[in-house]
Structures are given as structure tokens and as C-alpha cells.
Structure 1
């Protein structure tokens, strides 16, 4: 069985792309061999893993050369899941390659209409990519939603017009995500401190991945 390739993308920095990619990979690792490919020149995923001095649950590697889906499957035959942490720009060749390659694209967005409007170009890019990668499924993931709060009516209106499905599962603003990054681990490795956060990541995986 070939690997499932999941790209975590957003043209806007600060949306929580690496947070989602790293914790998603940790959750997928519990289901099968998983690798994170850091294709962001900033190297945020590699920096995260280095903070843990080898304690992060999933291997993290850099990827800078030109590649395609066939190349990834050939280079990582032992892995069931490949998670791509993409650069915060649609202009990067790596982002375009990731969209051409992936089975699933997850787009973390902050819970404000302004941040979502900044992502509209990505919606157009995905529609164009689907002409050559029609099997690709893309989803918006609401990130850093305040605890005990709901999406504003304005946010819901913008989401309805976006053209990309929004996951029911959301990521709340939790100290556990920041702690995991500082300690170089995933929320799964934080014990009780990360339990609620891990439940959120599990909900995302269960919603988007085939059983």
C-alpha cells in the first residue's frame, strides 16, 4: 500500500501550520510509520524536533530538491503517512509541488474573517491544481479558537463562501500546543497536560483519513 501524503499549507505565516503538521504526524504515528518532510526553508519543523533532542515521536527530514508523488513513494516505501510542512507562500515551488503531490491538503486558518480573506488566493490555487490532481481533498482547519467560544457570524459567512470544506474538528487555543513546541515533543507526549489537545488532533485525523 502506498503512503498517504498530507500537505499542511497556508500562504499566511502564523496560522499554526507547523503546529498542526507536527501534532498530526504524531497522531498518525500511532496508526503506522510516519515521516514529516520539512519543505519550508525556515525549517520550523526541524527546529521543533531539535528542541526535544531526539525525543519527538516521528522522524523529521528536510526536502529541498525537486520531487513528485512517485519520487516520494519510492524514497519512503516503509512509511504509511508522509506529512509535508509547507512554506508560508504560494510563490514557492515547494508549495506547488506539495499540492500536485498530496492526497489531502489541510489549511489551518485563524478564527477571524481578516485572516480567512488573506487565504482566498489559496482557494483559487487549489481549484487550479485539481485539474491535474483531481483526487486531492482539501479542508480548512479552524485554529486557535478561544476556549468556550464559537465562531462569529461574520466568520461563518466567509467560510460559507470559501469553496473549501471546513472540518467539524477544530483546534482550540491551548497552552499545551505551545508547551509541546518548546519541549520539542507532541501534545501526545505531554501526558495529562496534552490530553485535550491530543483529542482535538485525533478528531481531525478521524474526520479526514480513511478508516
Structure 2
């Protein structure tokens, strides 16, 4: 069983969207439960509007159904304090920290990294503006320059995610340009499998 936890130091950084789409990616490889620990219950509400290819469980009921699964994806509350962060990292095979590609997000990310120390975590740039903007690349370079492990894959900003949320399905199920965001999560999923050493 591999446990991937998605957490962020602020709301609106694509945390629940990332949890849902990683669970979708893993669902092609095995049995997946997404544990929704976010007080907003975004993942549960998303699944109730339509259909997701995995089980979504409220964190208070999750213990009964996580046993024997291949992958557990945990969507946590935003703004964990430093002791919560350490516990989240210790309880996961990989901690993913979605962050926006703006200068305002750099400082909290550096603080989070310092709180985490040697834990197994990686930053993920989300809601990245399309080219010709270079905000995503610039932020990724800044994070790397500060010694923060960061995924090469960046998640683009696209209206497809809102459409998928309204329909209660993963963006993978959309067509045409609306589906482009899925390519980013496929690429991210492959990077995560390498980190986890999963065959």
C-alpha cells in the first residue's frame, strides 16, 4: 500500500483537484481510496455530483475501508501547522505540496520546507498560466535554487477543471481542449511512481 498525502499552507492552490486527479491516475493501476480530510469536503462533494473511478471516504470513516488497498490518497485541511506537517509526512510515502507560481507563495513554501526537514516531500506548481508567461518555470527554478524538491511537471490553469468539477467527473473524461489538464496529471503520476519506486 502506498500513501500519498496532498497538503497546502493555503487554500485555493489546487489541493483537492490534485488529490482527485492523482487518485484517478492511480485507479488505472489498482484499488484506490481518497480520504477527504478537508473541512470543505471538496472531494466528497465532487464525487456526489457525478462519478469518480475510486472510493472517496470521509476521514472519520476511512479506517474501515483503507485496509488492503493499493493506493491511499489523502486530501488534508489547508494551513497545517509545523507539527501537523511533520506528522503528515511521517504517515505518508510522499507528501505533495501544491503551490501557485507567484512570489507571494515562495516565502510560505520555503518556511514549509524548513519545517519538513528531511521528510519525503515535493512541491507541485499548480494553476500555472499558459505561455508566453514564464511564471511557472521561474518559480520552479527559484524553488530548486533554494534546495526544495519540486516536480518537473506543472499543472496548467484551464477551464476544464471547473467543468469537470461541475460534472463530478475527472478531467480525463472531458474531450478536446477541456481535457488538456489530464495530460499534466498523467505526467505527474508517472513522476510520483518513480519517487515511490512503484513498478
Between the aligned partners of 1:186 and 1:50, the Cα distance in structure 2 is 12
The C-alpha deviation readout for 1:140-159, integer Å capped at 9, x for no partner, is 11111111232378635631
Give CA deviations for 1:42-85 in whole Å, capped at 9, x if unaligned: 21211221221xx12211001138x9xxxx6x852331110000
1:6-155 equivalences under 5 Å are 6-52=4-50, 55-64=51-60, 76-91=66-81, 96-127=86-117, 130=118, 136-148=119-131, 149-151=133-135, 155=139
Q: Which runs of 5+ in 2 are unaligned?
A: none
After superposition, the C-alpha distances for 1:11-68 in whole angstroms (9 at most, x for unaligned) are 111111001010111111011111100112221211221221xx12211001138x9x
After superposition, what is the alpha-carbon deviation per residue over 1:85-119, rounded to whole angstroms, capped at 9, x for unaligned? Answer: 01102239865542221001111110111112123
CA-based RMSD: 2.5
CA contact (8 A) 2:153 2:184 kept: yes
What TM-score, normalized to structure 1? 0.81
- Whether the 8 Å contact between 1:5 and 1:81 is mirrored in structure 2 is yes
Aligned: 1:180 with 2:164? yes
Q: So what's the TM-score if we normalise by structure 2? A: 0.86
- Structure with bigger strand share is 2
Question: Which 5+ residue runs of structure 1 have no aligned equivalent?
Answer: 131-135
